[in-house]
């Protein structure tokens, strides 16, 4: 959520596009699962945040159950194996301009959200993908929508202005990827 709020404040036009979609689709109602399926840009913004600034850049460590040959490398039984999810999320063969934050990459030509893009691995991959993936995505959606609906006359903004966010992760926190402490203001529309 900290990355979502920071990236919304850093990209006011994207935030306004989410607000517009939420107002058009949800209006004064409480968001439900049907709304989640229809808010394509909100889902794309959340997915791009997870790709761009994934919480666990190295995923969850695993242990090799047997000896395994991977290309030229022998992985011995009981070796710790760590997947570099950050590398996958920034791979230029999978993502056009991977260092640019662009929710549109998760929208098809009809502006419909595409959830299953190759290389989208913030929750890991394969049989041991995070069990909480669906719950986490739902929570991120509902919290984001609630934040935007509860501040209808304002935008989340940075005191130093749009596009000025320090997007480097906090170097004092290991294992997970969180932003450095930041300040947000509510700016009247």
CATH number, position 15: 1.10.630.10
Identify any residues that bridge with 156 across adjacent strands, giving them in sequence order: 186
> What is the token pair recorded at 181?
């402490």
CB 157, CB 187: distance < 8 Å: yes
Task: Report pLDDT digits (tens) over 152-185.
Answer: 999 999 999 999 999 999 999 988 999 999 999 9
**Residue 142 pLDDT grade (very low, low, confident, very high; cuts 50, 70, 90):** very high
Tell whether 137 is covered by a domain. yes
Q: What is the dihedral of CA 159, 161, 165, 166, to 10 degrees?
A: -70
Tell whether 144 is covered by a domain. yes
Tell whether 20 is covered by a domain. yes
Q: Is the pLDDT of residue 125 over 90?
A: no
User: Has this prediction a pTM greater than 0.85?
Assistant: yes
Mean pLDDT, the chain, as a whole number?
95
Confidence at residue 83, expressed as pLDDT on a 0 to 100 scale? 85
Token pair 């004092």: residue: 172
Tell whether 160 is covered by a domain. yes
Domain hosting 36: range is 2-56+87-188
Average confidence (pLDDT) over 12-33: 97
Give the span between the Cα atoms of 132 and 140, in whole angstroms: 12
CB 135, CB 123: distance < 8 Å: no
Name the domain count of the chain.
Answer: 1
Strand (E) or helix (H) holding 16: helix 12-25
Tell whether 124 is covered by a domain. yes
Give the span between the Cα atoms of 86 and 100, in whole angstroms: 14
Tell whether 139 is covered by a domain. yes
Q: Is the pLDDT of residue 116 over 90?
A: no
Task: Report pLDDT digits (tens) over 99-111.
Answer: 999 999 999 999 9
66 is annotated as contributing to ligand binding: no
Task: Report pLDDT digits (tens) over 78-100.
Answer: 999 888 899 999 999 999 999 99
Tell whether 168 is covered by a domain. yes
Tell whether 167 is covered by a domain. yes
Give the span between the Cα atoms of 158 and 177, in whole angstroms: 20
Rounded to the nearest 10 degrees, the angle between the axes of helix 40-52 and helix 12-25 is 140
Q: Is the pLDDT of residue 38 over 90?
A: yes
């Amino acid at each position: 959520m900290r990355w979502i709020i920071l990236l919304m404040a850093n990209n006011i036009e994207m935030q306004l596009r989410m607000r517009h979609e939420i107002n058009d689709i949800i209006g004064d109602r409480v968001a439900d699962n049907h709304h989640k399926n229809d808010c394509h840009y909100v889902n794309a913004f959340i997915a791009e945040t997870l790709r761009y600034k994934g919480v666990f850049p190295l995923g969850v460590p695993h242990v090799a159950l047997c000896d395994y040959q991977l290309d030229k490398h022998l992985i011995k039984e009981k070796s710790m194996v760590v997947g570099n999810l950050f590398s996958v999320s920034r791979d230029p063969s999978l993502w056009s301009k991977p260092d640019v934050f662009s929710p549109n990459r998760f929208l098809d030509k009809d502006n419909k959200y595409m959830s299953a893009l190759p290389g989208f691995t913030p929750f890991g991959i394969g049989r041991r993908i995070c069990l909480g993936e669906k719950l986490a995505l739902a929570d991120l959606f509902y919290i984001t929508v609630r934040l935007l609906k509860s501040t209808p006359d304002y935008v989340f903004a940075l005191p130093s202005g749009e596009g000025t966010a320090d997007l480097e992760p906090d170097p004092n926190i290991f294992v997970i990827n969180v932003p450095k402490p930041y300040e947000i203001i509510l700016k009247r529309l």
